Structure 1
């Protein structure tokens, strides 16, 4: 058995003294394999979480762990080190992919979306908003897509999402239920530019459905790196509000 193509390192774990068990997200889904010597000085830079690789996986039988060899295409992990927020986004996205997606099941849209995010990880102001958009793709590919298809006219607009159904509702539809609804940032609808507050609202929105529908059914919490990113952004905005007061 053999697979060859682009892959994203979403997780790795030490195996023995110098090897790694590496999890890549590919067009064919998550796939684990043994990287012999992956923890060595010569190879460790290749297998950093977030890196984009040209990978080859081989095994005698499809159910075996198999072995990886790879060439580094884009050192996203090193590029993200330049900006703390970008590094936090990279860790959150990769951990989310590793924990949310089923192994060896095709997830082409999640792969393409994460590839786009990591390709621009060093662009200032890009990664956080792109993570929010990617989480919508991830939810949809896992079968829990949100419904933004409701129509709005005149001065009315889609502004909230029902936390129960995942359907977007307009300002006029919200009515007295507004306090029970999740705000829908305009940039998720392709309108306006994302800002930190909009991204925080988007992370709250997608986080609700990831927690309930993806992780909750497995009796597990939302991935720690994703929770930490939300808390980091929330604290930053609270401190800004305090400084402006």
Structure 2
């Protein structure tokens, strides 16, 4: 059997003296493992860094075999991502979140969102916004998507400022006022359909976003599976906070 697909490198594990088992997120076949002969060589090690985009050819005798990858670079972004703490933590958290998905299940929409996130992790505010959206996409792909399009109580689409912790649906200011203490804040940037059209969000709204997605990840994913939230996620939130606070004090780095 053989197929070819676009992919992002998530990580590698040593296999024997010279090879590795590569973990990729592919466009059409989801998270997929495969052997890379000579993957520990000087030639292939730079290619196999997490975050890089590749064109992958997979071959195996049978579909359920591990198989072998032949990889060609289509986008070397790993070095840039490793320059900042929030970039490093984001890569690690992305891989942990994608491992929540069954292996070899296709998630093309999530693959597209993954590439948007990886291409825009340089600025901490944009990184924070996009990562919250990525976590919402993870929830959606796992069957626990939130409905932030209209008020759960009135059906109105204006003045949405809360999310119900029970239903995961948006609530407007008037309907949610009597229950405000129990509601989760809805960050305004999540009401913009195109993530790349959002202006820089404040640190407070980004932290509200992480609190929102963290709540539902704990309720629907980590809790039922009896697993802990990846510690890299807390590292990412701290790194975004530190970077944004530094920019507020010193101005953005040009």
Q: TM-score, normalised by structure 2?
A: 0.84
State whether residues 36 and 68 of structure 2, in contact with CA within 8 Å, keep that contact through their aligned partners in structure 1.
yes
> How many residues matched?
241
Task: Give the aligned partner of residue 30 of structure 1.
Answer: 31
| Whole-Å separation in 1 of the counterparts to 2:17 and 2:126 | 38
Q: Partner of 2:46: helix, strand, or coil?
A: coil
| 2:203 paired residue number | 196
The whole-number CA distance in structure 2 between the counterparts of 1:44 and 1:21 is 12
CA pair 212-239 structure 1, distance change in 2 beyond 3 A: farther
Q: Tell me how far 1:155 sits from its aligned partner.
A: 11
Counterparts of 2:243 and 2:134 in 1: how far apart (Å)? Answer: 22
Which residue in 2 is equivalent to 1:89?
A: 90
| 1:10–1:95 CA contact under 8 A, matched in 2 | no
Instruction: Report the counterpart of residue 109 of structure 2 in structure 1.
Output: 109
Give the deviation of 1:238 after TM superposition. 8.5
Q: Residues 53-202 of structure 1: matches in 2 within 5 Å?
A: 53-97=54-98, 99-122=99-122, 125-151=125-151, 157-190=159-192, 193=199, 194-202=201-209
The aligned counterpart of 1:221 is: 228
- Contact 2:34/2:58 (CA < 8 Å) preserved in 1? yes
Equivalent-residue separation in structure 2 for 1:139 and 1:8 (angstroms): 20
Task: Name the CA distance, whole Å, in 1 between partners of 2:123 and 2:20.
Answer: 30
CA distance in 2, matches of 1:196, 1:20: 40
Distance 1:198 1:93 in 2: 21
Contact 1:33 1:65 in 2 (8 A): yes
Please give the root-mean-square deviation of Cα atoms over the aligned residues, in Å.
2.7
Q: Secondary structure at the match of 1:112?
A: helix
Secondary structure at the counterpart of residue 4 of structure 1: strand
1:198 shift after superposition: 1.6
* SS of equivalent residue, structure 1 residue 229: helix
Distance 2:121 2:36 in 1: 25
Partners of 1:176 and 1:221 in 2: CA distance: 33
Q: Distance in 2 between matches of 1:122 and 1:42?
A: 27
**Range that drifts further, 119-128 or 87-96:** 119-128
Match of 2:19 in 1: 19
The answer to whether the Cα contact below 8 Å between 2:150 and 2:158 also exists between their aligned partners in 1 is: no
Q: CA deviation at 1:207?
A: 1.4
How far apart are the structure 1 equivalents of 2:247 and 2:183? 25
